[in-house]
Structures are given as structure tokens and as C-alpha cells.
Amino acid sequence: MHLIKIFTVMSLFFAVSCSTMNNSSFTEEKPIDDPGIKWENVDEVWAVVGTKPVLKSEVEKKYSALLRKKKIPANKTASEKSRILDSLINFIIIENKASSEGIIVSKEKVENQISDIMLRNNIKTKAEFEKFLDKNYQITLEEYKEEIRRSIMTNLVMVYAVDYKRPSQKDAEAFYRKKVKEDVRPFLQVKIQIIQVSPKDSSFQEEKAANTLINDVRKKALGGASFTSLAKQYSTDRATASKGGDLGWTLLGKLDPYIAGYVYQKMSKSGSISEVIKTSEGYYIVRYSGRRTAPFSEFEQIIYNMLSMQYGEKALELWLLEQREFSDVKIFMKDYSKK
């Protein structure tokens, strides 16, 4: 560790005064272990990229955050800190490239992304978001903004400054076939109609009334009444009621988990009516019409975007390895270990 030798003000004043009074000067330096010398610890430089340092404190801070998320064996401490150091070195290289390419991440871009994240998590205020970050990530809002800024800059450098092959339609189709073969469930669509009856409030009376009504409606459906007409008349989900409860071909994963589980496990005959299914939104009955593997066209854009990101990340990784060879990177961390 780098140490700075600091004399206290009083000690220095006393020494100068004695020199003046005795008409003498210092001719002998104090030894390092002299109790009159005060030592102070300062931050260590663990790496330098060009002229930009990476401090030990930066690595330790990120390592402490990592420890809050998972347990790390003592014999893995050095390798984990080495990987954190690598990521900080890589970002300096990315920042340098962004600067040379004129890529700037504005505060507005960061704030817009945070607003999107808040919207997706149904968080309305920054105070709520700060609590969310502390609970789920043990990070402050300002620290999170910096992580967002770095993420946006990395993606922009990857897209605009790193040359890599984009996936073709054949690549996307091959990926789709491979994933369907491995597990069809994420690609499974069912064609169903639903009738939902929700209690007006949480009282026992309303709960009982909703339960009674859905069972009566189910008896009518089993007795041959038109499910479409029943949905229009009784379903409290007005968005689907106007369509006779018809959801069309819907991915199983987009349904309420209780409904999805019941349909997947217990319904296979076209025209069959389910038992009453209780969910957090109320009571449901389902009319089943069929199932199929969703066509490639339903996932084409999603798969293409995902493969583009994967190809880009791989290209960025190789690019960073090349850049480190020419970026005058010096590492001073004692226990640093390469991958």
C-alpha cells in the first residue's frame, strides 16, 4: 500500500523552534519506525489505462455490492476482484472509444430509461424507486444512474463502433427450431375463451356472490348455452366480454399462471369447459378449442433482436481483448489473476 509520511503541525513547529533557538539544523533523518512520525493510508492505484487510473476503492466498492447478492468463497476473492478490475479497465477503453467516435450519453437518456424501468415496475415516484433499488439491489439512485449510463454507452459503442456480423433470417429460424425442440412450452399457444367474475370488494358476501354466480354460469355452459353469449352477459372483464371471452391464439406464458397451469395439464379436448379456476383477479371458467406451436413469424423479431445482442456482445468481448493489447494497460493489483 502507498503510504505518505506526514508530520503533525505541532511536531513540525516544535522542531523548527528548537532549530532556531539552538542555532542548529537537522542533520539526521528519523527512522521509519520513529514514534514521532505519523503515517496515513491512502487509496491504491490497481491499474492504469493510458493515463487513467483504476483505484482499489472502486473495486472494493463493487465487490462489497457483489457480496450482498451472493456468497463468495475466500479462495475466490482474488479472482472475483480481478474480474471487477477487468470490467473497470474495459469501460475506460469503451469510454475512450465513445469519445473518439463522438458518442455521448445525455442525462435525458439516462432519465428516460429510468422512467421506463419505473413504469414497467409500476413505481410512481423517485422516492419509491429509491426504496426499490435499496431493497432489490442494495444500491443508491445515483449509483444506479451511473450503471445505466455505462450500459447505454457500452451498447452504443457495440452497435456503432464495433464491426460484427448481424444474424440472418436463417440464423433466427435455426435458433427457433432448436429452442422448440428443447422445450416447446415457451412457444405453445392455446385458443380459449374465458368468463371472469370478480367480487366487487373483499367482503365475504361479495366473495360468496361471485363464487355462486360463476358456478351458475358454468352449469349453463355445460347445459349447452352459448359460451360466447354467456361471456358477453356475465363476464366482468369488459375488454374480453365484448368479444365473447375470445382470447384467440394466446401464448401460454401470457396467461395467469393458475389458468395456464390448468389449461396445459387438464384440457385437451376441443369444446371442453374447465372447472372454476380461482385467481387473484377473481373466478374464471375456460372453454378450450385447441393448442399449437406458435409459428416462427410470431417470434422472428424477438429472436432477431436477441441474436443481434448476442453477436454484438461476443464481438465486443473480442474487440476489448484486442484493444487491451494496444491501450497501454498496466495492472498493479498484487493478487490479480487472468481468466
- Residues 6 or more apart in contact with residue 105 via CB below 8 angstroms: 98, 149, 152, 153, 156
Cα 179 to its chain centre, rounded Å, is 23
Pair 36, 49 in one domain: no
Range of the domain at 93: 45-164
Pair 50, 138 in one domain: yes
- Counting residues of the chain whose pLDDT is more than 70, the rounded percentage is 88
* Of the residues 164, 195, 212, the one at which a domain ends: 164
The residue ranges of DSSP E strands in 87-224, in sequence order, are 188-197
DSSP-derived letter for residue 336 is -
Q: What is the pLDDT of residues 227-257, one digit of tens each?
A: 999 999 999 998 999 999 999 999 999 999 9
pLDDT for residue 14 is more than 80: no
Of 36-50, 87-101, 107-121, which gets the smallest average pLDDT?
36-50
Stretch 70-84: mean pLDDT? 93
pLDDT of res. 37: 53
Q: For residue 106, give the nearest of 152, 144, 60, 171 by alpha carbon.
A: 152
Residue type, 326: F
Pair 252, 220 in one domain: yes
Pair 56, 29 in one domain: no
**Residue the block writes with cell 382470447:** 247
Number of domains the chain is built from? 3
Alpha carbon of 56 to those of 65, 77, 222: distances in Å? 14, 14, 71
Q: 81, exposed or middle or buried, with CB in 10 Å at 0-12, 13-18, 19+? A: buried
- 97: in domain: yes
Pair 211, 226 in one domain: yes
Q: CATH number, domain at 267?
A: 3.10.50.40
In three-state secondary structure terms, 338 is coil
Residue type, 230: L
Contact of 312 with 159, CB cutoff 8 Å = yes
Phi then psi dihedrals of residue 13, to 5 deg: -60, -45
- 312: in domain: no
pLDDT classification of 44: cutoffs 50, 70, 90: very high
Pair 49, 34 in one domain: no
- 153: in domain: yes
Pair 154, 88 in one domain: yes
In three-state secondary structure terms, 218 is helix
Q: Which residues pair with 65 in a beta bridge?
A: none
- 145: in domain: yes
Pair 156, 186 in one domain: no
Cell of 165: 456480423
Contact of 280 with 199, CB cutoff 8 Å = no
Pair 99, 145 in one domain: yes
* Of the residues 296, 314, 334, the one at which a domain ends: 296
- 303: in domain: no
Pair 244, 140 in one domain: no
Pair 199, 239 in one domain: yes
- 65: in domain: yes
Q: CATH number, domain at 124?
A: 1.10.4030.10
pLDDT of res. 1: 38
- 302: in domain: no
- 311: in domain: no
Pair 23, 60 in one domain: no
pLDDT of res. 73: 92
pLDDT of res. 35: 55
If one compares 246 and 159, the residue with the highest pLDDT of the two is 246
Cα 320 to its chain centre, rounded Å, is 22
Stretch 7-20: mean pLDDT? 33
Cα 58 to its chain centre, rounded Å, is 21
